[in-house]
Amino acid sequence: MKAPNPHAVGPPAPYRFARADFAIALSLWVACVALLLQTSSMGYTRDESFYFRHSVTYVRWISGFLGKGEPAKWTSKDSVYRYWHSTGNNMEHPPLIKVLFGLSWRTFGQKQRRIGAPFKHGKYGLVIPLLANAEELGLKVGDRLLVSHPKPVSAADGDRPERLAGGTLVSAKPRALIKLDGDPLTPASFHRVCDQRIDSETKRPLTIGGCTAQNDGPLALLREDLSMRAPAMVFSGLLIALVFLFGVELFGRIPAFFGALILFFTPRFFFHSHLTCFDVPIATLVFATQYAFWRSESRRTWALGAAVLWGLALLTKHNALLVPVGLVLYWLTAHWREYRLALPDSSALRLFGPQRAPRWRSAIAIALGIATLVGGALLLGLKGAIAASLLLAIAYGLRLRLPSIPLAFLLMPPIGFTMLVLFWPALWYDTLANLEWYLNFHLKHVHYSQQYFGEVLGVPPFPISFPFVMTLTTVPEALVVLSGTGLALFYLPWQRLSAWLSRDEPQSAKVRSLLALVPLSPRARWFIAINGLIPIAVIAMPSSPIFGGVKHWFPTMPFVSLIAAGGFAFIWKLAERGLPIKSSLQRSAIALLCCLLLLTPPLRASLHNVSTGTSYYNGFLGGVSGAASRRMHRQFWGYAVRGALPWLNRRARKNARVWFHNATWGAITMYKQVGLLRHDIQNAALQQAEIAMFFHQRAFEPFYNEVQRAFGTKTPAHQITIDGVPVLSVFVRKGR
């Protein structure tokens, strides 16, 4: 009969949440999404402008596949490659989040498009054409549309144009035709009502464009750009809810509340939570997978959830491939006391006990083993030593007894990789070749320049300190201080230090009593440390691309926030000892008040920097202006142009040619579609433009002098700044 392992650790008891915990988590989720929907004032980033297009392309394929057409036609290799595989359709990233962007746009988006002049149709009578592809917009015959007057350039960002009439789509092919209720527009009145209005004195347009029509269904709740951004906002709120629940399990409600919201109000995370990008969704799905694994250790049914969530993460971004690494390392370290090396009774290496081998036999076995290891190392280096070790283990009958393997480890590979192939059509054909292309794209990713304390980092090796210094200087000061407190509390060997510094037993007892204020199990410490460290450690590797700034290690941040929650709990417990108040309700109210006071500066910083989120630096670096004086990277992605659009709409002449610099054509198109940019303004090369935008970014400095020479002026006509630091300058050609 096998003797029990005295160091074996049984499965932990499952934590039981109260209903109030789930109610608070749900409230946080809803509140975070609602706030994000109300603060989406930043411009469209370069990546977003590409994902706008790819999302529509994917949804077009899905609509065709689920429609009345032949499924075989849509699942053919030609169709799949045309819609999913080509480099023009973003094969470098899996499709899940882009599909969600597109489905949200198709379902909830207010898709506003221009209309043409009315004419008499032989079948429908007086109709007006919709100057867009109705099927691509998800419109079908019988759908209701809203026709609006031209939108004034003086209208505020969120103002909707004045309603003109309602109508019904009576034809989708070959042209989209709208039959208005009561025929309020005639060929004679159309130009008077719907043409872009021009100021008679300045000759500048007074309206964004002409009349427009948009879908008017009950689900058309969000402006087109916001409907594309909404899924990432939902994922952000979900992450906050999950961090809260994990925090409740570890530290209690109020510290968990603080940890969740200090993450949400980290200004750069808050900024990225708005975007039609993958960084916040993948952070959410990675953390959800890790938390499901954590729960599966106490309740095996969670193992299936961990496997499915990992499959969803794989379908989102390649970061998901690191998740099993962290979970396996955690399992190996958290259960290290359960490892055992077993020897057969007849082994020559059995040196002790009643069944020990003769000493001469053991000596020969040990000598041969050493000779084999040394020989393998000399001949083949490290690989030879490893191979020799394996051969010796087999020859001597060594057996390594491991802790019981978690069920999640058995389910994650088959379920996760099956989901990846099944739900990514690009992998349906030439699976291995396409997987190889996908992985190589990221393993050999191009590098873009970052400015780091005046040094331009464009080619590896990059400083190992980069992600750690960037984290310390771009998160709220309270998060730095309290996470540092938590790290010191949970990861420094206080009891050993106390015993070494003082032999006084009362002193050691005092240290133990302090540590007991916020207990955290060794299992939880290993889980947080390993899974939190891996994402940022990968970016710290000198060869890793660093062009995305802090967003590439967002999967680290939930664990940093949990550590900060522990730091908050510890400081509060210390302070609580001195409070004369005995009522637990009053103590909780004071703790909550302290929590809210600590969250106020990050909240203000997040709202203040929401339009220029990648420019944010905390007070340790002197804020945005201090970072600029230290020549830190100011911005990227070309989104700051949105702040200049109101000025451009008012000041540019009709059909003005504008050089938009780092803003993409896809972003400009979306600005026009949602009514933020005049339809007549044209995108032009620098030499042909009469107005030029310049993004203040170190890599673009040569353009600055070129713009000034070409336009004959060194003085910008308009600037967008944050705390006095320019992020965008607008130049007008001399004589215009």
Which residue stretches of the chain have pLDDT < 70?
1-11, 69, 86-87, 339-366, 368-369, 372, 392-400, 494-512, 736
Name the phi and psi angles at 177, rounded to 5.
-120, 140
Half-sphere exposure for 150 (CA within 13 Å, toward CB): 23
Q: Are 464 and 539 a contacting pair, CB within 8 Å?
A: no
Find out whether 335 and 9 touch, Cβ atoms under 8 Å.
yes
- CA dist., res. 497 & res. 489, Å (int): 12
Q: Rounded to whole angstroms, what are the CA distances from 617 to 42, 614, 622, 624, 634?
A: 17, 9, 7, 5, 9
pLDDT at position 391, please? 73
Peptide bond into 231 cis (omega under 30): no
pLDDT number for residue 685? 94
Question: What string of H, E and C letters represents the secondary structure of 685-723?
Answer: CHHHCCEEEEECCHHHHHHHHHHHHHHCCCCCCEEEEEC
Alpha-carbon Rg for the chain in angstroms: 31
| pTM, two decimal places | 0.91
Distance of CA 400 to the CA centre of its chain: 40
pLDDT of residue 8: 44
Which uninterrupted H or E stretch holds 294?
Answer: helix 279-296
Nearest by Cα to 666 from 47, 104, 147, 176: 47
Tens of pLDDT, residues 289-308: 999 999 999 999 999 999 99
Separation of alpha carbons 103 and 55, rounded Å: 8
Separation between Cα atoms, residue 696 and residue 633, nearest integer Å: 10
**Alpha carbon distance 425, 74 (integer Å):** 10
Phi, psi of 693 (to 5 degrees): -100, 140
All residues at 6 or more sequence positions from 729 whose CB lies less than 8 Å from its CB, including other chains: 693, 694, 696, 716, 718, 719, 720
Helices 19-38 & 224-251 angle (0-180, nearest 10): 150
- Residue 273: exposure state from Cβ atoms within 10 A (0-12, 13-18, ≥19): buried
CB 98 within 8 A of CB 54: yes
What element of type H or E holds 623?
A: helix 623-629
In order of their start, the domains of the chain are 19-37+227-334+443-615 (no CATH), 112-226 (2.40.30), 340-401 (no CATH), 640-732 (no CATH)
Length of the chain: 736
Supply angle C-alpha 55, 58, 62, rounded to 5.
135
What tens digit of pLDDT does each residue of 117-141 get? 999 988 998 999 999 999 889 999 9
